[in-house]
Structure 1
Amino acid sequence: MPMPPIRTGFFPGSFDPITNGHADILAAALAFCDKVVVGIGTHPGKVPLFAFDERVALIDMLTAAIEGGAGRVSTVAFDGLTIDAARKAGAGILIRGLRDGTDLDYEMQLAGMNGAMAPDIRTIFVPASTATRPITATLVRQIARLGGDVTPFVPDFVARKLTQKFAS
């Protein structure tokens, strides 16, 4: 009997920093993908708070904490089209998290364009849990920058890194 194909998902984002919302989506993706490649998008015009290597380390720590995540998640950088990065990673599924209707409208447009350019790669939408719905990395950075408590929004190890980052 032939082996079933390995389902590889590509989860793109900036992950600057990785949040509980990202963790929620990644855990859900691991329920229907054999492997997940986290694609950290890099943009020459943007200066991230965390360097690429720091984000990879935080993602690795998160992956180790997700049941069944160890050995099934890898991380790559990409700076072009998401579908090109997904194809290079061997993914047949794009994983996109949805927080609300605004996300859905935008993500549907992206899925349509990506589907036209790469019909062999399907977009799967994963709804955010109620607890993680309001979380964005941008808001987390702003709260941390102003000395606020981000522990409800990010894993503890990310909160510590944010505190260190803004203490200097």
Structure 2
Amino acid sequence: MRQLTRSETDVRRAAPSRGARPVRVPRAVPQGYGTRPARPAGPAPAVAPAAKVTAAAPGPAAPRRARPPRAPFLLLVVGLLCGGLVSLLLLNAVLAQDSFRANGLRKEISDLRVQKESKKSAIMKQEMPEAVARNNELQGLGSDWDTLRVIDPDKPAVGVAGDVRTPAGQERVPGTGR
């Protein structure tokens, strides 16, 4: 029988016909990659210890594939996790400090608003007619409900309710009573 080349074993062609495409056949795994020696199906045969030693001694030992050390990678991961945790704790502390400051400022603003409202209410109480009359009596000023007093810098303040004067620099408008 004729020996097939590698390219011939990979592709098997269908019978020549119109529109036929080649069929790909997977390659066999090269020897040495992922293949294991077959184990016997039954129990392991009893071999004398001397036979084991003599069987292993003649051939060179197969080199074992060295694993990379895990300790540096583990230390790197643990270090990164610890660094992240510490940075989160510091960030949390800074934000909490700002939060305390903001709460203090809010309390101070509310206290100032309360003071403003109390002063505003005190001023409103002092502007009420009863309080104004009481302050006038304390200063020696009495209420005069019978006369209307117009203050004029050139003339003394004497007049009656019917006496209406125009302010200085203005003329009377005829027919309006002003």
User: Which TM-score applies when normalising by structure 2?
Assistant: 0.17
Q: Which has the higher contact order (CA 8 A, sep 6+)?
A: 1
Q: TM-score, normalised by structure 1?
A: 0.17
Greater strand fraction, Structure 1 or Structure 2: 1
